[in-house]
Structure 1
Amino acid sequence: MRRLDRNQSQASSVHVGLYNQGLLRQELESTRQQNDQLWQQLEQSSAEAERLKQDVETKSAIAKKKDQEKQGILQKLLAAIASRNSMRGKLGNMTAQRNRALRQVQTLVAQNAEVMQQLKQTTDKLGDAYQQIEIIQKDMDEDMLELAQAYRNMEIEQRALLPAPLKVLLDQIEQDYMTV
């Protein structure tokens, strides 16, 4: 078997440059994929936040409507109580009406408490979604800053070897994130 002496054959600077460029392209592609994933997560979180916001608005409207109904029933109850004093002959009927109204008020109060609990849960979810969006945005900004720094550290010859669309994109990223 022939013994290979690897010290005798040195890689040329072109090969080293191409190897380094290949590594850089792999790193750029990996970073681009990570950024795409983060952007997709950001869009999903934004959509979830919008859906939660609409849910909060809907449940808030329902709670307001039920509160108005409760106020109407309460007003009817107060009116029934006031008329009871002037109509002693109809006391039994008025008492039955008052009891029905009280049961309705109690039912509406219980429903209102449930809606308020749902509203609180939805609001909490909305807050969590906004926190996730903020974390994702921060991670994306850090990744883009690292990408801009790596691009800035590239030698001019390496930059010249990059495809024009990639170079334009990297120039824009460098401009946006290195001036921050």
Structure 2
Amino acid sequence: MASITLKGNPIETIGNLPKVGSKAPNFSLVAPDLSHKTLADYSGKKVILNIFPSIDTSTCATSVRTFNKKAAALENTIVICVSKDLPFAQTRFCGAEGIENVQVLSDFATGSFGKDYGLEITTGPLAHLHSRAVVLIDEQGNVSYTEQVSDIVDEPNYEAALKAI
């Protein structure tokens, strides 16, 4: 399990992020139209998973906005923003913010993504939500970069993630 913090207070996750070089765990997440998307749907593309607790918090919203700006210039790369928010909330946020260069997918239905990627929070006030993390997956479906953000209120290291592409 990863030991992280929320405003300096210790909390833990169910496990650790997948190891760099390993095959990325498959997932089935819910899209805004309520269809299901799997990792296979993005085969042959680089995938940036921007993972966070809730789109309705300032740091999470900032990460979506920042990746939205950066994603427009990326070739053969898709940014997927993942939380346990309902697809309706994700769609509302993206519409209000003019977010068009990233996809939002929800883990609300089963929570299996958070468990399989080792980032479901198990203790503290955000228990059962996802920790803030970035996972890059290459065109062959292998994990090429991970960042478990040490304090949930902090933003991920965008530049390090983009350099790893």
What TM-score do you get using the length of structure 2 for normalisation?
Answer: 0.18
Per residue, is there more strand in 1 or in 2?
2
Per residue, is there more helix in 1 or in 2?
1
